[in-house]
Amino acid sequence: MHEEIIVAGFGGQGVIMAGKLMCIAAMNEGKHVSHIPSYGAEMRGGTANCSVVISDDPIGSPVVPEPTVVIAMNLPSMRKFEPRLKKGGLLLYNSSLIDAKPERDDIEVIAVEATGIAEEVGSTRAANMAAIGRLLAAKPDIASMDSVKEALKIAVSKRNQKFNDINIKVLDKAHSL
Amino acid sequence: MSDRILMKGNEAVGEAAIIAGCRHYFAYPITPQNEIPAYMAKRLPEVGGTFLQAESELAAINMVFGASAAGARVMTSSSSPGISLKQEGISYIAGAELPCVIVDMMRGGPGLGNIAGSQADYFQATRGGGNGDYRIIVLAPASVQELADITIEAFDLADEYRIPVMILGEGYLGQMSEPFSLPEPSGKTFEKPWALTGAKGRKPNIIASMRLTPENLLEEHNLKLKKTYDKITEKEVRYESYLLDDADYIIVAYGTSARISRSAIIELRKEGIKAGLFRPISLWPYPYKELKKAASHAKKVLTVEMSLGQMVEDVRLAVMDDEKVDFYGRTGGMLPESGEIIRRVRHYGS
């Protein structure tokens, strides 16, 4: 397997952490992984994104110009990264916050009420977990749900470990949609 | 696999330096290497070390000069424009035969340029950005694991030869997280009878980079440095080869450019095109002899860099056949494209 993933959203939606979580889970399954955040001249309230590569083979460039998967947590991110998707790639978007429809017809599209699911379970801040849960249902090769849940212990900061019950519930709920 | 952890390159440098026994770190912040000072600020006090954010790059490198003269294992880090500011101090440290480790996570230039990764400071690193007849060891890792391992080695090389060692990465390597295993300490120890540790019970040591009289004193000193450089050139060349044995086409690249080239080579091999990678790890001393030998059977040698062509000059010196040497580079913080490498190598055969 070889996936080149961009996770994008507002600063504070946990996109960098979502990328790290997938990396740690896949790493512990013995896969090659890389993670690089965008670190351009970003502004508060602007978009944040990270490039993640997960592969059975050693990774060349950690930067992803043409992703096979885009997770778009808000509209500016979908507008920015939908055009860059590889033909046949997967666009997974947060339909709780994105009213618009994707434009391309040569890609696979999954709408997930990420913020809505997270709010229902207990915290909108776990919207990133809903996106990952849904992605793993569509692309189980990336990492198993068990590996991701285990990886929460490392990827989530100490002071936020107390939210891991919510994180796991959101992961499960989105995964079983 | 459970001992592998995911860490940014910049943080891995910091932890590896602490494992190597570095307890003094002086720097001034600059993107894309800010995680190094951030990490050292957090970790060094925990192990009884000294972290100091200097008021400028000049101050930082001269603090390194002082700590090294006193016998400490000391490191500084910066990125391209910051390293330019440190050149005066690096020249003085080299002249005074002092060990230290300098990390340069290169960014786009010239000038303040941008904050994306770049390899446009190869000349500055390997030819000496400071004045005088001096050399420093320059090591270029291509993964977070190698970055950590080389950091351990850099401190030992610096102490063994009493020379500054530069770890030359780019912003991409510093910013990237990859799985790696924490390196082990090398266990090597170095006596430093020359260090300024207080002259109680012995004659004072003198460390200086100025030698005005007699008139031949500086030449004598520089010839002594040259002996050290010759020894390093003989013993410390490092490179990696990948699928070179039967290669018709050799790609020469270091750091992130080498990773991208490797991906291209895997694709080319699938097409039956015999391509291989020569990856210099020590940029000074450069693996001239080894590259010359590898290139002797090749039809074409393509140098790939994130610059407009700097290492390619060393490749030409090694290969000694301008017809054979080609170059592909991106500049201003852009990455070479695997597809373009593949197109070029395909074209050589047609």
The token duo for B59 is: 């101050």
Q: Could you report the per-residue pLDDT of A11-37, keeping only the tens digit for each?
A: 889 999 999 999 999 999 999 999 999
CB–CB contact B263 A27 (8 Å) = no
> What is the reported pLDDT for B128?
83
> What is the reported pLDDT for A11?
84
> What is the reported pLDDT for A42?
65
> What is the reported pLDDT for B350?
79
> What is the reported pLDDT for B1?
44
CA B316 distance to own-chain centroid: 21
B218-256 burial string, b = 16+ CB within 10 Å, else e? beebeeebeeebeebbeebbbbbbbbbeebebbbbbbbb
Q: Could you report the per-residue pLDDT of A118-161, keeping only the tens digit for each?
A: 999 999 999 999 999 999 999 999 999 999 999 999 999 999 99
B27 in Cβ contact with B37 (< 8 Å) = yes
Is B31 in the A-facing interface, judged by CB distances under 8 Å?
Answer: yes
Residue A124: which CATH number?
Answer: 3.40.920.10
Is B304 in the A-facing interface, judged by CB distances under 8 Å?
Answer: no
> What is the reported pLDDT for A47?
81
> What is the reported pLDDT for B3?
84
- How many domains, chain A? 1
Closest Cα in chain B to A41:
B115
The domains of chain B, with CATH numbers, are 5-235 (3.40.50.970), 240-349 (3.40.50.920)
Q: Which residues of chain B have pLDDT under 50?
A: 1
Q: What is the mean pLDDT of residues A49-77?
A: 96
A123: containing domain: 2-175
Residue by residue, DSSP assigns A103-166 as: --SSSEEEEE-HHHHHHHHT-GGGHHHHHHHHHHHH-TTS--HHHHHHHHHHHS-GGGGGGHHH
CA B135 distance to own-chain centroid: 12
With contacts defined as CB-CB under 8 Å, which chain B residues touch A62? 172, 176, 178
The whole-angstrom distance between B334's CA and the closest CA on chain A is 10
Which of B2, B32, B177 is nearest residue A34 as measured by Cβ atoms? B177
Q: For residues B134 and B225, what is the distance between their CA atoms, to the nearest angstrom?
A: 8
> What is the reported pLDDT for A40?
63
| Total residue count of chain A as it appears in this document | 177
- Three-class DSSP category at B270: helix
Interface of A with B in 8-67 (CB under 8 A): 20, 23-24, 27-28, 30, 32-37, 39-41, 57-63, 65
